[in-house]
Structure 1
Amino acid sequence: MDAIYTAVATANGREGRAVSSDGQVDLPLAFPAALGGDGRGTNPEQLFAAGYAACFASALGAVGRQEKIDVKDVSVTAEVSIGKEEDGGFGLAVVLRVELPDHLQGEAGDALLKKAHATCPYSKATRGNIAVEVVAE
């Protein structure tokens, strides 16, 4: 890969801070209440959800431009779950909920989502590693 941009961020655990090298991200981190924390900060799952939603929406835009399909009213919500796996470790699962306008309901929307999922860098990175479900709404 010929990198055209590299994001750099530093974190010191789930209870601390996450800071990007350019200072645009500077967030307190905390375990969510569901994992025994006080929830007084963001967590890696929220950051991943925000990044995946934005990346998938961007991929939809790129596919829409290629296909000459208006996707300006499309929105993406990523639900990132963390849970225990059979081996005793933790794993992630993602549901991408894509709100499609009326003109993209049915086969046209499904085809668009399939192409976006094939090209989105986050989808490529997770493919075969974690369960990702794409749902048209």
Structure 2
Amino acid sequence: MGEENNYKNILYVDDEVHNLNSFRAVFRRSYNIFTALSAEEGRKILAENTIHLIITDQRMPGTTGIEFLESIIKDHPSVPRILLTGYTDINAVIDAINKGSVYKYVQKPWSEEELRSTIENALKLYTTTKSQEELTDKLLTTNEQLEFLLRQNLLS
């Protein structure tokens, strides 16, 4: 519940309104909570907002949580993903990890303590990943500048 998390945006996708309301009630003081009742709504929110963490239920009509997560990897590769599911289907968990690049699988009903810890760790991962991406970009730019200067020196 550190201050750095006050501005983190979490998207929670679940077709059950009471799950969305429960999640919002528990976590709204720590994070900016965005909720969606479907994968389609979730994609709209992702298109319009910077999201730092995605949590989705597996069992939803139309599009499963894994299918939703798989569909957004290309546009949101750095955003950690957590899958919630109320059943212990090992194949769903394997698919989630392999296809949806899921950071963590949490069984429903979730405990506040476990989910809070998982969210904190996922957000730390996001911050670290973003920092590494920025450092890599800076390194590539510096390398290009050095190569340019070297070519200039070799030509003169």
> What TM-score do the two structures reach when normalised by structure 1?
0.29
CA radius of gyration, larger in: 2
